[in-house]
A and B are shown apart, each in its own frame.
Chain A
Amino acid sequence: MQGAVICARALAVAEVCRHLLGRYRGIWAMAWRILLACAALVLVYSIVAARHFWELALLAGDRGMELSIAAVVVAVLLFARYYDVQASAADRSLAVGFCLYSCFCVLNNTILEHYLHRYGALWNLLGMLAFLASLLLWTWALRKPQTEIVPEETLLSPVIYQTVAPQVNLRLRSLNDQLSKIWKPEVTRQ
């Protein structure tokens, strides 16, 4: 049951990501692959970092999924910031809610793993509170009906990017080389 709920949440996060970046076809095509790779890496990290006991396997899996969800949300918001993509307040609040809830689950599960018997009741209570807080945030984000349909952006010809991007990078590289010459003048003198 818990697995189904986490999978549903992961799908909801994927939908938020698509909603944030999907309008920009090129960026989205690159972003979803990076986000997926990021999620997989974080999952591997959490498996490697976890204590390896069979009785804690479910807990570790649950935590790994939660950590991946949180990492994906942060990564997509970083993408949006880097590319100056305007995210609606509702999308942002939903994403933040998902991230905070997942982060809290990770912390809660990590503590539970260490103090399984003493922490059980408190773990339940805190989990419930975190869920209610996130629910409150999502309700606030969606308090108004979301009827707006965002059309896909008018995109440029692919040739323009293919021509301009390498040129820009080449120039930036040269500029960096010049900076390094200023930083190390002895190299210039040679």
Chain B
Amino acid sequence: MSLTLILFFSFVAILLLALGWAVWEPRQRRKLEADPRSLEERGQRHATYLPQIRQALAPADYDFLSKREAPRELRRRVRRERLGVALAYLAALRGDFQSLLRMARVIAVLSPKVAAVHEFERLRLTAKFAWRYQMIRWKLLTGLAPMAQLAGLSDLVSGLSVRMETAMNELGERAAAAAELASSINRRGLDVV
């Protein structure tokens, strides 16, 4: 088989795979929601449990158990349960990350002017996050990742949620103000150009 044949056949195969993926819609995939409030609620859910997560990830309890010379089985059980908490926390972070991304996409879709640089940057960051998320997950499962460092992540995601919430509030206020202005101008019978 010649190189030309291989090059074209493989390109078409890639195209067909991409076409299948683009057209295929998983059952659980939700439709674009016009109301951004549902997205904000999701972002807030994670922030609500932050103190508990922090407590669960703190190393103080391990130190206490070691000092008291607790049975091995008990220490193992504590470690296992906290690993579960860390994994659930990581999954929640990913959920928050995705909901924020989705909100950013909604804003992009509804904006009259979109900068390709920002869009590509977000795409790149998303790919990076997905890769690292999987790596850290495996690292946690194999007991190689220090759990305490996960706490720092939540600050960032929560911070982003708050910023997005503020932006959405501003957005609503501006839209309301613009509508008010337009209606008052219309009432006066002025021509808006």
Interface positions of A (Cβ within 8 A of B): 24-27, 29-30, 33-34, 45-46, 49-51, 63, 67, 70-71, 73-74, 77-78, 80-86, 92, 96, 99, 103, 106-107, 110-111, 113-114, 153-169, 171-176, 178-183, 185, 188
Partner of B104, one of A27, A107, A164: A164
Partner of A167, one of B12, B97, B113, B163: B163
Closest A residue to B18 using CB positions: A74
> Is the beta-carbon distance between A82 and B105 smaller than 8 angstroms?
yes
Partner of A155, one of B5, B111, B133: B111
How far does the Cβ of B116 sit from chain A's closest Cβ, in whole Å? 5
- Is chain A's binding surface mostly helix, strand, loop or mixed? helix
Return chain A residues, CB-CB under 8 Å to B153: 175, 178-179, 182
> Is the beta-carbon distance between A172 and B129 smaller than 8 angstroms?
yes
Contact-residue bracket for chain B: 35 or more
> Is the beta-carbon distance between A103 and B15 smaller than 8 angstroms?
yes
Q: How far is it, in angstroms, between the C-alpha of A122 and the C-alpha of B164 when the chains are bound?
A: 59
B152 interface hit (Cβ, 8 Å): yes
> Is the beta-carbon distance between A114 and B107 smaller than 8 angstroms?
no
> Is the beta-carbon distance between A27 and B109 smaller than 8 angstroms?
yes
Return chain B residues, CB-CB under 8 Å to A154: 110
> Is the beta-carbon distance between A30 and B119 smaller than 8 angstroms?
yes
Closest A residue to B128 using CB positions: A176
> Is the beta-carbon distance between A114 and B2 smaller than 8 angstroms?
yes
Contact with A along B109-135 (1 / 0, CB 8 A): 111111110110111011011001101
Stretch with Cβ within 8 A of A (4 or more), from B46-54, B67-75, B171-179, B182-190: B171-179
Q: How far is it, in angstroms, between the C-alpha of A169 and the C-alpha of B128 when the chains are bound?
A: 12
10 pairs, CB–CB < 8 Å, chain A vs chain B: A81-B22, A86-B32, A106-B11, A114-B4, A156-B111, A162-B113, A172-B97, A176-B128, A178-B156, A185-B149
Contact with A along B80-100 (1 / 0, CB 8 A): 000000000000000001001
> Is the beta-carbon distance between B32 and A171 smaller than 8 angstroms?
no
Return chain B residues, CB-CB under 8 Å to A45: 11
> Is the beta-carbon distance between B107 and A158 smaller than 8 angstroms?
no
> Is the beta-carbon distance between A161 and B19 smaller than 8 angstroms?
no
Q: How far is it, in angstroms, between the C-alpha of A127 and the C-alpha of B155 when the chains are bound?
A: 59
Q: How far is it, in angstroms, between the C-alpha of A25 and the C-alpha of B114 when the chains are bound?
A: 9
Q: How far is it, in angstroms, between the C-alpha of A82 and the C-alpha of B133 when the chains are bound?
A: 20
B31 interface hit (Cβ, 8 Å): yes
> Is the beta-carbon distance between A27 and B22 smaller than 8 angstroms?
no
Partner of A24, one of B31, B110, B157: B110
> Is the beta-carbon distance between A160 and B107 smaller than 8 angstroms?
yes
B108 interface hit (Cβ, 8 Å): yes
B16 interface hit (Cβ, 8 Å): yes
